[in-house]
Structure 1
């Protein structure tokens, strides 16, 4: 039996899993990333944990084919990270080379959202399909494009950054510093910003009562929960979210024409109250041909394990 290792490195936590030949995670654990301790110390701690998980499963390290990693930043040639989002590390570090020197194992890298997309495409909601686009909707919006068995990484590793396509000329300021981005409107941050703006002028609603007037503390989940309880004010905000989601997804369909759109991240957990609206509004923004036959929009099914699965799939 041969094994691969998937490592999903995040700003706070790092998920590590051992995956067998049948595509099953047989051991997994979450450790603190502690990037402040430096790149080499972080990578050594990750390898130490991998060895610990192998020992638990009585697997010899010679049975490990390699280690795949998801990294928060653009990745070039599955080796070099252009820059690290929220990490105090230098630009253009060859993480694959460093980790191979530590572990002796073949190491391949991809952007963190790309490995989530690869995980869902190969093991999750996109399994069995030749093309899918995974959209991770949380604090921001990330994307991964899977076509003919491969992730589209782009020339400098920035492929799939769907959150920064422009929906509104000179629109709302995005965290990237530009204006009018998909992310500025349809992310959790975007929907929360819209809710705060509306709550300042309308306090007669269930959402305001739920927050006890502390409108700055609103979270996307609060809005969806109140909408599910029939609060018309919150339903209107969900409609706002669905409109921009449909606009962004429509653009993706018109350019990529995938068989499947997979939604991941916290906002996707809103479920049908959001998804049904997006599907209806999508007809305004996507060419009819992209919505025909077997096209579908689904919620990702791998949850927090998607990054482990996708990272491990980089090997082999």
Structure 2
């Protein structure tokens, strides 16, 4: 039997797992990324951890087929990272080559959210579907597009950056520096910004009570919690969020026509109070034919999606 190492590299922590041929994680460990020490030192520590995990399973290194990695940045040809979103590492770095020199193992990589999408498509909520788009709804919005067994990474590795499609001409400022992005409206940050603007003029509501009048501590979760308790003020904000989420997903359906959209990230944890509203609004934005036998579902792999998806990069 052969095995694959899946590596999910984050700004603070890196998750590493040994995965079998069925996509099951046999053992995993989280280590500090310590990106300030430089790419080579980080990669060396990752390889040392992989060796440690193999040893714990009594697996010979020769039975390790390869190493797959999820990287925070655009990746070209599953080898070269155009730039790193959170690391002070050089641009256009061939991480695949660097790690192959360190480990002697075939190494392939892709953008971290693409890798999560691949994990959900092959082993999670998208299993069995020919096409799916995974949307990570957190501080920002990331995306991964899976069609006919392949990730759509694009010419320069920026494929799947759905958070930066434009929903409003010259709209709200996004963290990317442009205006009107999907992310500026439907992310946790977008929800919080909208809630704060409304709380400044209306403090007679359950949401204001929940945060004890301290608007600076507001989080998206507070909005959903208050809405679930029937707070009309918060329900209006959820409806606002659902409108933009439906608009963004509708655009995706009209362009990609996937079988499934898989929602992950902190905002998705709102559950049915958000999901039901999005489904109700979708027909306003998606062509009717794209909704035939289409499903929006929640991701099922959680923190394991990155490890499993990274491992799936190795054929």
Decide: shared fold, TM above 0.5: yes
Structure 1 position 213, deviation (Å): 1.0
Q: Normalising by structure 1, what TM-score? A: 0.99
Indicate whether 1:199 and 2:199 are aligned. Answer: yes
| Correspondence 1:88-167 to 2 at 5 A | 88-167=88-167
Structure 1 position 19, deviation (Å): 0.3
Deviating above 6 A after TM superposition, structure 1's stretches of 4 or more consecutive aligned residues are none
- The equivalent residue for 1:312 is 311
Q: Distance in 2 between matches of 1:10 and 1:4?
A: 19
Structure 1 position 96, deviation (Å): 0.3
Indicate whether 1:267 and 2:271 are aligned. Answer: no
- The equivalent residue for 1:250 is 250
- The equivalent residue for 2:29 is 29
Q: Distance in 2 between matches of 1:191 and 1:115?
A: 26
Q: Distance in 1 between matches of 2:215 and 2:269?
A: 22
Q: Distance in 2 between matches of 1:285 and 1:200?
A: 31
Q: Normalising by structure 2, what TM-score? A: 0.99
Structure 1 position 86, deviation (Å): 1.2
- The equivalent residue for 2:183 is 183
Alpha-carbon displacement from aligned partner over 1:22-46 (angstroms, at most 9, x marks no partner): 2110001111111011101100111
Q: Distance in 2 between matches of 1:244 and 1:124?
A: 26
- The equivalent residue for 2:73 is 73
Gap regions ≥5 residues in structure 1: none
Structure 1 position 193, deviation (Å): 0.4
Alignment length (residue pairs): 315
- SS at 2:49 equivalent: helix
| Correspondence 1:168-247 to 2 at 5 A | 168-247=168-247
What is the RMSD computed on CA atoms of the aligned residues? 0.5
- The equivalent residue for 1:291 is 291
Q: Distance in 2 between matches of 1:8 and 1:276?
A: 31
- SS at 1:7 equivalent: strand
- The equivalent residue for 1:303 is 302
Structure 1 position 21, deviation (Å): 1.1
Gap regions ≥5 residues in structure 2: none
Q: Distance in 1 between matches of 2:3 and 2:223?
A: 43
